[in-house]
Amino acid sequence: MKIFVCVKHVPDSAAVITVKDDCRIDNRVTHIINPYDEHAITGACQIRKTCSSAEVVALCLGRDTALDGLRSAMAMGADRGILIRTDQDHDAMDTAAALKAAMDRDGGPDLVFTGKEAIDTNGGETLFRLGALYRMPAMSNVVSVVLDRNQADIICEEEKGTRTEFEVRLPCILGAAKGLNQPRYPTMPDIIKSRKKPIDILDYADLDLDPLPAATRVVRLTACEEDRNPAQLKGDADQVADQIIQVLKHQARVI
């Protein structure tokens, strides 16, 4: 059984984002594996335990620096990595096509994990694009997976915290949410071991993808300014509560 985990190398959530050329960010900030993808890797490795012949392959479309992300994925348990090397940003449609092409070259997936969304673009759409391209079931916000022969019994967490159970036929695409597991952070021996694991590097251009009839492109980026002037609500608890009610009632008009 071959389990692919699609990971994205994204700017650290604590990084200060600066805009360059009005349409892209300064990429020299610290990058990390997208936090949800850590849950995806952990989920894939947990399934490997129950399945003797399973292999976990971490797959990433990114710049050369994304090799660090793949190394972390392997330190967390992936058996090997594939980097589709590019020097550009790709939208979700493009990304899904590239990920599919790379997986197909590698024999195709029996199961695909991704994070439910990436923290830079916040789209959560790539997994559905993969589902459509492969005509495989795709489910997001997955918080529980149990494999049962050729199907996965899963639980998805939806708005307001509602949980829904589905049976999904394999192969399928699953988007990991935080509740799926607690990622185990790599120890020093894990990191050393991961250095010996192989990474294949493909060039995006070598995938020979057909141009897509639709695309999205960021044409302008501007940093958001913080412009609030804090005012103190003074007094005892009772007085503070009164002032909060005044704001709710007269300024926000919600009561």
Nearer to other proteins, 203 or 235 (CB): 235
| Cβ at position 154, least distance to other proteins in Å | 9
3-state class (DSSP) for residue 252: coil
Minimum distance of other proteins from residue 198's CB (angstroms): 30
Within residues 138-167, the interface with other proteins by CB under 8 A covers 138-141, 143, 153, 155, 157-167
Distance of CA 179 to the CA centre of its chain: 14
Report the C-alpha gap between 136 and 170 in whole angstroms: 8
Question: Closest Cα to residue 112, out of 4, 191, 188, 32?
Answer: 4
Task: Locate 162 and state its tokens.
Answer: 């509602």
Interacting span for other proteins (CB under 8 A) from 13-21, 67-75, 192-200, 201-209: 13-21
Measured from the CB of residue 251, what is the shortest distance to other proteins in angstroms?
Answer: 6
**Which DSSP helix (H) or strand (E) runs through 86?**
none
How far is it, in rounded angstroms, from Cα 104 to Cα 169? 19
- Does 217 help bind other proteins (rule: CB under 8 A)? yes
From residue 168 to residue 197, what is the string marking binding to other proteins with x (rule CB under 8 A)?
xx--x----xxx------------------
Shorter beta-carbon distance to other proteins: residue 192 or 245? 245
Query: 91 to 120, contacts with other proteins by CB under 8 A?
Result: 91-93, 119-120
Q: For residues 49 and 39, what is the distance between their CA atoms, to the nearest angstrom?
A: 16
